[in-house]
Amino acid sequence: MDWLKLQAGDLIERLNVWADDLQRREANLAVGEAKLEQRARQFRLAAQQTRLELEALRRRLDARQQQLESNHKQCSRLARQLAMAQFDDRSAGGIRAV
């Protein structure tokens, strides 16, 4: 019967060591999970910030494109007017010379 008590005591000690090891592993797992969740949260925030920055850049680009298109139309109109004025000056000058 003494051997049974010894074996039971050994088994209890092993179970306690095993339980302590499981608790340590569980704590390490919880720490790892918290770190992973924090990294995922940081990634989501960075991704959201990048999306917001890209949207702002897109709006600025669209506004700049509209401005350039407007400037192009105005330059084309002025170039036509200048060409017509030069043509009129040449035409008027040619008639006077005759």
pLDDT tens digit sequence for 66-93: 999 999 999 999 999 999 988 887 777 6
Overall pTM > 0.85: no
pLDDT tens digit sequence for 10-47: 999 999 999 999 999 999 999 999 999 999 999 999 99
Q: What share of the chain is helix, strand, coil (3-state, %, to 5)?
A: 100, 0, 0
Angle ∠(19,23,24) on CA atoms, nearest 5 = 115
